[in-house]
Amino acid sequence: MDLHSGDSAYYHILNHSIYLILGIIGSVIVSRCNDVFIRKHSLLWVGITLLLLLAVVVAGRTVNGATRWIQIGPVSLQPSEIAKVSGIIWTASYLAPKLDKKEKITIFYRFFKPFIHSRSKRKSDSFSAMIGYFKPLIAPFIMAVMVLMQPDMGTAGMIIFFPGFLYIMSGMPIKEIIWGITAAIGGFFLLALIEPYRWDRVIVLWDPFSHARDLGYQTVQSLIAVGSGGIFGQGLGQGLSKFLYLPEQYTDFAYAVFSQEFGFIGSVCILILYVAFLCCGFSVARQLKYTYHALLVYGLTMLISIQGIINIAMVIGCFPVTGIPLPFISYGGTSLLINMLAVALIYNTVTKSLYRSDMEERRTYIAAMEGKLVSLDKISGTVFHPENK
């Protein structure tokens, strides 16, 4: 593959190794970073991401008709991957105080409420209230629009999806969830109809073999690769699809090559790993005492697992072809780097949350033993005042 493109035989290995080393270094730093610092500077992370996305517009590198990368020295960076994480941090930082104050988390009702009850208010006040209700989604929406212009509809959808998911986890009413899903589906079909190639991908999804020589070629070759693997696969390095039969065989369609070489058993194991990561992440998040920490772990867990599941669905023809990589497997430096940092941030968040929770309980216990009136509301739901002996 590298020799065919004129590169060194070890180009992709060496290039990926650079990002792996950067990911290890970054993960160590993030795992030891103060979680309060990360939370308080959520707006800064969004600002940096927006500047990087703007740099793509001004001086981005175009590959296969898409302008998604910027070159920083020897490193090629894809800011849209960074936008996924910064959007999650921003949304979790904004929603957590609302939940701690027992405020009801809504979108649509609070959008229309200022206008419905605006007779006794100034229009400017109603508009300010509306913006306040939508504040957590403004930054992800702007980032998603900038990514959509690259164009990259799949990644843009992910940037909006994860913050929207945090709204759902925050207790958004069922009616609003249904409205949101309906709006998302409507927006998807609208964007698909605007660009013919997007609608073609939707059409191909229903019957790729009818378009095997043109629009459905990539999906058909992917299905051939997956099916030819059988139960146990053809063996490591023995698959033929990676020899330019399957486009994007080492990036978006790496799962097809893996399935061909490791078979049904190997491919199912990969799927199980993503599902297990999702279940474990949610289980840990439910045990965290602090709202911000729980929301952040929910979001970052979804970031990795859902992208993996969507990529697998795309490879086997159950989802339209899009530019969502397979976490930790697809070739892509920025994707690998961001996923490693996301795991490190989950580790940082969980350890810091458990430590603070433990320290708070210790201080409460000590105060109780000293005869002070203490509140165990977050622990047991009671107020405990020990008897003086």
pLDDT digit string, tens, across residues 31-66: 999 989 999 999 999 999 999 999 998 888 877 777
Least confident of 7-16, 33-42, 202-211, 379-388: 379-388
Q: Measure the CA–CA gap between 340 and 31, rounded to whole angstroms.
A: 11
Instruction: State the pLDDT confidence band at 283, using cuts at 50, 70 and 90.
Output: very high
What is the distance between the alpha carbons of residues 264 and 284, in angstroms, rounded to a whole number? 30
User: Mean pLDDT for the chain?
Assistant: 83
In tens, the pLDDT along 164-196 reads 899 888 888 888 888 888 888 888 888 888 888
Please give the pLDDT value at position 314: 92
Considering only residues 67 and 282, tell me which one the structure prediction assigns the higher pLDDT.
282
β-pair type (75-77, 66-72)? antiparallel
Average pLDDT of the residues in 283-297: 92
What's the rounded Cα separation, in Å, for the pair 307 and 316? 14
Do residues 233 and 271 touch, judged by C-beta distance below 8 A?
A: no
pLDDT digits (tens, 9 = 90+) for 146-157: 999 888 888 999
* Per-residue confidence band for 376, with pLDDT thresholds at 50, 70 and 90: low
Q: What is the pLDDT of residue 146?
A: 92
Residue 5 domain flag = no
Taking only the tens place, the pLDDT of each residue in 107-128 is 655 555 544 444 444 444 445 5
When divided into structural domains, the chain yields a total of: 1
Domain membership of residue 79 (yes or no) is: yes
Identify any residues that bridge with 374 across adjacent strands, giving them in sequence order.
384
Provide the pLDDT for residue 373: 66
Tens of pLDDT, residue by residue over 189-209, are: 888 888 888 888 888 888 888
pLDDT of residue 54: 93
Percent of the chain with pLDDT over 70: 85
Residue 126 lies in a domain: no
Query: Which of the listed ranges 5-14, 129-138, 249-258 does the model predict with the highest average pLDDT?
Result: 249-258
Look at 158 and 136; give whichever has higher pLDDT.
Answer: 158
| Distance separating alpha carbons of residues 358 and 36, to the nearest angstrom | 17
- Among residues 151, 149, 146, which one has the least CA distance to residue 63? 151
For residue 3, is pLDDT > 50? Answer: no
Would residue 117 count as lying in a domain? no
Running DSSP on this structure, what letter comes out for residue 226? H
DSSP-H helix ranges across 33-78: 35-40, 42-59
The residue with greater pLDDT, 115 or 230, is: 230
pLDDT at 378: 47
Match 């007779």 to its residue by tokens. 119
Look at residue 384 in the predicted model and tell me its pLDDT.
34
Amino acid at 309: I
* Both tokens assigned to 306: 């859902």
Per-residue pLDDT averaged across 233-261, rounded?
86
CA-to-CA separations, 214 to 60, 192, 195, 219, 225, in angstroms, rounded: 29, 19, 17, 10, 18
**Is residue 388 predicted with pLDDT exceeding 70?**
no
pTM tops 0.95: no
Can you tell me the distance from the alpha carbon of 76 to that of 52, in angstroms, rounded to the nearest whole number? 12
Please state which of the ranges 122-131, 246-255, 287-296, 353-362 shows the lowest mean pLDDT.
122-131
Domain contains 121: no
**Residue range(s) defining the domain that contains residue 319:** 11-110+132-378
DSSP class of residue 211 equals G
**Which string of b and e fits 51-69 if b means at least 16 CB within 10 Å?**
ebbeebeeebeeeeeebbb
Is residue 246 very low, low, confident or very high in pLDDT (cuts 50, 70, 90)?
confident
User: How confident is the model at residue 241, as a pLDDT?
Assistant: 81
pLDDT band at 377 (very low <50, low <70, confident <90, very high): low
pLDDT at 272 over 90: yes
Residue 370 CB: number of other CB atoms within 10 A?
Answer: 9
Inside any domain, residue 311? yes
What residues are paired with 384 via a beta bridge? 374
